[in-house]
Structure 1
Amino acid sequence: MVGQCTRIYSIYDAASLYTFILLDAKQMKIPSDKLVEAMCAHAQAWRAKFALVEEANHARDLIRDLKVKAQGHTIVKGVPHRNHSKEDRLLQVLYAINAGQVRLLEGEKSLHLLLHQLRQFPNGKHDDLVDSFTQALHVLPRLGSGKAVWRIS
């Protein structure tokens, strides 16, 4: 199984605007039987407050297993895609990107793949990191600020 993850830290400022700091982004090839353990280990290493998983048919068991394994240390939430296309999901968060509310860690090499996919979108060969990134940005304002959020699809 291939997993895409983006780790984003959200900060809420006095002007009632969120700033999102993209910590890293990566794709991983992990056997299905090792995925839950790997996700929990990554979430714990980053002290993630939330782990967000796209509510796709194939992910229902994953969400359930993650909730059990996380034991409340990380809040596991399913994220519905509401049958919106990947392009529509990006358009829904473009305002935050254009308003300068999304920041990247300077020099973070893991972000190159995401930036490449963003530049190629929607005509590139790969776009899973773009989708993971946009869905995380869509959900984060409702979760509050604070600790890192780990998003995987």
Structure 2
Amino acid sequence: LAQKWPRVVRKLVEDKANGSAVISELKSTVSGFVPITPTESKEARASSVTPYFEAGNVFIPEDTEAPWVPHYVSELLEFPAGSHDDQVDSTTQALNYFRNGSGVILTREQMQQARFRF
């Protein structure tokens, strides 16, 4: 994935279970790993970023531009009762990372120019 998207400079990885092993195994060949240690449950993390969605501050590409969008949105809407939650978990980790002042946040105008919906 790092080769597919070379402009991604940070890779957030939960520093527990398999995440620790991933960081350890790949850190010498892939740069930009940022260990994340969650302190709350998945449900609590999702609840804490819900206001961003409600306020229209989470931008999701049009499904005509990104064919993965319907599955992604379905997983978000089915959480926590859905059979999968990996994308929900990574979304909440990223939004919390941004909320804490890390990473790059684009303005609404920049996202509109990039043809994303909100």
TM-score (normalizing by structure 1):
0.60
Picking from 78, 81, 85, the partner of 2:41 is 85
In structure 1, the partner of 2:23 is 63
**Cα RMSD (Å) of the superposition?**
1.9
In structure 2, the partner of 1:124 is 82
Count of equivalent residues: 103
The unaligned stretches of length 5 or more in structure 2 are 107-118
For 2:29 and 2:78, the matched residues in 1 are separated by 36
Picking from 67, 72, 95, the partner of 2:51 is 95
* C-alpha deviation, 1:57, in angstroms: 2.2
In structure 2, the partner of 1:140 is 98
For 2:105 and 2:55, the matched residues in 1 are separated by 21
Moved segments of 4+, more than 6 Å: none
TM-score (normalizing by structure 2):
0.76
Structure showing the higher strand proportion among its residues: 1
The unaligned stretches of length 5 or more in structure 1 are 1-38, 148-153
SS of the residue corresponding to residue 11 of structure 2 reads strand
Equivalent pairs: percent with the same residue? 30
For 2:35 and 2:69, the matched residues in 1 are separated by 24
> For each residue in 1:51-82, what CA deviation from the matched residue of structure 2 results, as whole angstroms up to 9, or x when unmatched?
11111222212112332112x4xx21011112
Aligned-partner residue type, residue 109 of structure 1: P
